[in-house]
């Protein structure tokens, strides 16, 4: 495990070894009475973060979710960070000049631990690994009505970008997320990842270049929404020609079943093959079970499709649109990634 941000500790050194330079510490706080300590503003931080609806908690969740691509892992990292804060003594908390920067540093290091173990887990994963979708109602979902949080709802949270982030190094991903999505200065990022500010800047620049194609998908939200609505209608009616018309000729569809449900183990390419594949799945599932409903809803900040059977979410579909139509489709059908209260809402419905 990585170390936590600066905290008082004693280290042993071998005889004759040069003494390690002292790590930077927060300035000592003036002596306080018990009543003054209890009223210290830092004592309100725990309650603020524990309230998952607060702006601070949503922002920290947004950081972790972008770094990890998993709602469950992001929640765990946020809870670990809160517990780490609570494990400090009152005097230690009072010494921390900028609590939210401290929390962000702890959270970042927790996420780096998870990212370090991710490649091994991905190798053992059956099929394509796609990030968990984020829908309205999920804990920690940014409030689009809050102007202060508009920076959080940008292209850095789309599933296409999160999927592309899987190819980044942990330092690239962390530096990009913190600086690009949340405006964290590079000196603070450097402290969190124990690198120089210059190396963090270089990592963020590299990530920005590697993610350019994914970030350029669906630049026009109105055209994106129209394409998604046409896709949902074509799937609901089984109209093969209409579905092909809304797709880019070089479209790719990826499916994540996690080995728990039937899903293509490799991506499917080309408009005709993709359309046939999708409608074939719908016919098979409709024949086995009750009628499926197709609901256009916000998925990771832009329109997507949620498929339900008897009110239960069975698929979440995310789209990336190019100049000639829908270019990327992500099908999340892994039930372990769909088992959240946030996935019970409904939008504009069409039925198969």
Spell out the per-residue pLDDT of the chain, length 352, in tens: 444 554 434 344 444 444 443 333 443 444 444 544 455 788 888 788 878 778 888 889 999 999 999 999 999 999 999 999 999 998 999 999 999 999 999 999 999 999 999 988 888 899 999 999 988 777 555 555 555 555 455 667 889 999 999 999 999 999 999 999 899 999 999 999 999 999 999 999 999 999 999 988 888 989 999 999 999 999 999 999 999 999 999 999 999 999 998 899 999 999 999 999 999 988 887 766 667 889 999 998 889 999 998 888 999 999 999 999 999 999 999 999 998 654 544 444 344 4
Length of the chain, in residues: 352
Classify 263 in phi/psi space as left (phi over 0), alpha (psi -120 to 50) or beta.
beta
Distance of alpha carbon 335 from alpha carbon 257, whole angstroms: 8
Q: Which residues contact 24 (CB under 8 A, 6 or more apart)?
A: 6
Instruction: Among 215, 247, 275, identify where a domain stops.
Output: 215
Q: Which residues contact 338 (CB under 8 A, 6 or more apart)?
A: 133, 313, 314, 315, 316, 332
Distance of alpha carbon 52 from alpha carbon 32, whole angstroms: 31
State whether 47 and 171 are in the same domain. yes
- Matching residue, tokens 């990771």: 300
pLDDT given for residue 21 in this prediction: 37
State whether 157 and 65 are in the same domain. yes
pLDDT given for residue 339 in this prediction: 81
State whether 63 and 39 are in the same domain. yes
Would you give the DSSP letter of residue 147?
Answer: G
Closest-CA residue to 161 (of 350, 299, 281): 299
pTM recorded for the entire structure: 0.81
Distance of alpha carbon 265 from alpha carbon 254, whole angstroms: 8
Domain presence at residue 229: yes
pLDDT given for residue 26 in this prediction: 40
Distance of alpha carbon 265 from alpha carbon 257, whole angstroms: 8
Domain presence at residue 13: no
Domain presence at residue 15: no
State whether 200 and 143 are in the same domain. yes
Distance of alpha carbon 245 from alpha carbon 234, whole angstroms: 10
State whether 68 and 201 are in the same domain. yes
Beta bridge partners of 305: 296, 317
pLDDT given for residue 169 in this prediction: 97
State whether 107 and 254 are in the same domain. no
Structure tokens at 341: 């209260």
* Domains contained in the chain, number: 2
Domain presence at residue 211: yes
Domain presence at residue 21: no
State whether 276 and 207 are in the same domain. no
Domain presence at residue 48: yes
Instruction: Among 164, 190, 215, identify where a domain stops.
Output: 215
Domain presence at residue 281: yes
Q: Residue 326 sits in a domain of what CATH number?
A: 3.10.450.50
Structure tokens at 201: 């800047």
Distances in whole angstroms, Cα of residue 248 to Cα of each of 88, 155, 210, 220, 294: 54, 20, 22, 16, 21
Distance of alpha carbon 61 from alpha carbon 80, whole angstroms: 12
Domain that holds residue 92: 34-215
State whether 161 and 241 are in the same domain. no
State whether 263 and 196 are in the same domain. no
Distance of alpha carbon 274 from alpha carbon 243, whole angstroms: 9
pLDDT given for residue 28 in this prediction: 42
State whether 344 and 292 are in the same domain. yes
List the strands of the sheet with 312-322, edge to edge.
Answer: 268-269, 247-256, 325-332, 312-322, 302-309, 292-299, 348-351
The answer to whether 70 and 26 are in contact (CB under 8 A) is no
Domain presence at residue 11: no
State whether 131 and 167 are in the same domain. yes
pLDDT given for residue 57 in this prediction: 87
By three-state DSSP, how is residue 40 classified? Answer: coil
Instruction: Among 181, 196, 215, identify where a domain stops.
Output: 215
State whether 249 and 184 are in the same domain. no
């Amino acid at each position: 495990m990585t170390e936590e941000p600066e905290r008082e500790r004693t280290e042993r050194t071998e005889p004759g070894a040069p003494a390690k330079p002292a790590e930077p510490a927060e300035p000592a706080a003036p002596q306080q009475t018990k009543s003054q300590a209890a009223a210290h503003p830092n004592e309100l931080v725990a309650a603020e973060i524990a309230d998952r609806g607060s702006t601070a908690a949503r922002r920290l969740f947004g950081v972790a979710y972008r770094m990890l691509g998993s709602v469950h892992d992001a929640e765990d990292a946020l809870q670990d960070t809160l517990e780490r804060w609570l494990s400090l003594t009152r005097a230690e908390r009072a010494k921390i000049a900028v609590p939210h920067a401290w929390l962000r540093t702890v959270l970042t290091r927790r996420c780096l631990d998870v990212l370090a173990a991710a490649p091994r887990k991905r190798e053992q994963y059956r099929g394509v690994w796609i990030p968990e979708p984020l829908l309205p109602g999920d804990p920690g979902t940014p409030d689009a009505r809050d102007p202060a949080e508009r920076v959080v709802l940008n292209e850095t949270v789309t599933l296409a970008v999160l999927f592309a982030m899987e190819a980044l190094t942990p330092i690239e991903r962390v530096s990009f997320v913190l600086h690009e999505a949340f405006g964290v200065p590079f000196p603070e990022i450097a402290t969190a990842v124990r690198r120089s500010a210059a190396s963090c800047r270089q990592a963020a620049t590299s990530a920005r270049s590697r993610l350019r194609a994914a970030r350029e998908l669906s630049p026009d939200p109105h055209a994106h929404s129209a394409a998604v609505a046409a896709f949902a209608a074509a799937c609901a009616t089984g109209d093969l020609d209409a579905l092909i018309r809304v797709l880019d000729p070089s479209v790719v569809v990826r499916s994540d079943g996690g080995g728990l449900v039937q899903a293509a183990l490799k991506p499917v390419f080309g408009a005709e093959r993709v359309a046939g594949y999708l409608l074939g799945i719908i016919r098979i599932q409709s024949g086995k079970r009750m009628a499926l409903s197709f609901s256009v809803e916000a998925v990771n900040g832009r329109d997507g499709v949620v498929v339900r059977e008897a009110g239960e979410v069975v698929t979440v579909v995310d789209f990336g649109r190019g100049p000639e139509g829908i270019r990327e489709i992500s099908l999340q059908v892994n039930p372990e990634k769909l088992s959240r209260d946030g996935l019970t809402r409904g939008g504009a419905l069409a039925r198969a």
